[in-house]
Amino acid sequence: QQQVKQSPQSLIVQKGGISIINCAYENTAFDYFPWYQQFPGKGPALLIAIRPDVSEKKEGRFTISFNKSAKQFSLHIMDSQPGDSATYFCALTLKQGAQKLVFGQGTRLTINP
Amino acid sequence: DAGVIQSPRHEVTEMGQEVTLRCKPISGHNSLFWYRQTMMRGLELLIYFNNNVPIDDSGMPEDRFSAKMPNASFSTLKIQPSEPRDSAVYFCASSLDRGLYEQYFGPGTRLTVT
């Protein structure tokens, strides 16, 4: 079964700093690499997504970087704010069989004011 | 514009009882997903419907779990009999076919089985 390994499990960053979350995958049969953000008591919500033919995508303070040869992708949050404190999940969509999302284990991000 | 609606939001039940969780997807979405979230196992896909038909139920833990989607606007996840290890937050999500990576999650149902 396809797996996505996410690190770190938890991360504490000072306000204004850069938060970096990494994910590694094993297989190559995928379509998209989305990142989801989840606040306590809420369901996950799509934050940003990247296609495998693109090496980087930026939306505001959020940037996804994709390294196909290393089979890794990462989320960078620039100028991190206390409101960014949440759990972040990387994911990928499988091409083989029934298409579905496979999620990483999640990273609990805390931004200290 | 209403998002995915789930009910109940919280459910506390005793071991052995039947539990039914309900979901109303976003209108126009034709894919529906049931997930379970726990600290130990993270976010797990239980079952996935497309156009009301179950496509992949490989994540359903065991025969105690069953899911139905009688029409495009309603789905249920039933656990019978429930066990303490079923305690988790259960999410329903929906998406358009072409935007499969873009799933819209409901607020979840927190299930506690004592």
Distance CA B10, CA B40 (A): 20
pLDDT above 70 for B1 = no
pLDDT for res B12: 98
Considering CB atoms only, which of B42, B101, B107 is closest to A34?
Answer: B101
pLDDT above 70 for B55 = yes
Q: List CB contacts (< 8 A) between A98 and chain B.
A: 48, 55-56
Which residues 72-101 of B have a C-beta within 8 angstroms of A?
91, 93, 100-101
In this structure, are residues B78 and B70 in contact, taking their beta carbons and an 8 Å threshold?
A: no
Residues shown for chain B: 114
Q: List CB contacts (< 8 A) between B102 and chain A.
A: 34, 46, 49
pLDDT for res A31: 76
In this structure, are residues A104 and A4 in contact, taking their beta carbons and an 8 Å threshold?
A: yes
Sequence-distant (6+) residues with CB within 8 A of B48 are A98, A100, B31, B32, B33, B34, B54, B55, B56, B57
User: Residue for token digits 């499988």?
Assistant: A94
Q: List CB contacts (< 8 A) between A105 and chain B.
A: 42
In this structure, are residues B44 and B54 in contact, taking their beta carbons and an 8 Å threshold?
A: no
What the block records as the tokens of A15 is 């306000």
Distance CA B92, CA A65 (A): 29
Considering CB atoms only, which of B4, B43, B102 is closest to A103?
Answer: B43
pLDDT > 90 in chain A, percent:
68
pLDDT above 60 for B63 = yes
What's the mean pLDDT in B69-77?
Answer: 97
What the block records as the tokens of A56 is 């980087």
Bridge partners of A37? A45, A88
pLDDT for res B49: 94
pLDDT for res B64: 95
pLDDT for res A62: 97
pLDDT band at A98 (very low <50, low <70, confident <90, very high): low
pLDDT above 70 for A1 = no
User: Choosing among B9, B57, B101, B104, which should be mutated to test the A contact, i.e. which has the most A CBs within 10 A?
Assistant: B101
pLDDT above 90 for B92 = yes
What the block records as the tokens of B24 is 């109303």
pLDDT tens figures, A7-31: 999 999 999 999 999 999 987 667 7
Indicate the average pLDDT of chain B.
94
Distance CA B93, CA A60 (A): 26
What's the mean pLDDT in A61-83?
Answer: 94
pLDDT band at B6 (very low <50, low <70, confident <90, very high): very high
What's the mean pLDDT in B21-39?
Answer: 95
Distance CA A88, CA A39 (A): 9
What's the mean pLDDT in B11-37?
Answer: 96
What's the mean pLDDT in A80-84?
Answer: 97
Indicate the average pLDDT of chain A.
91
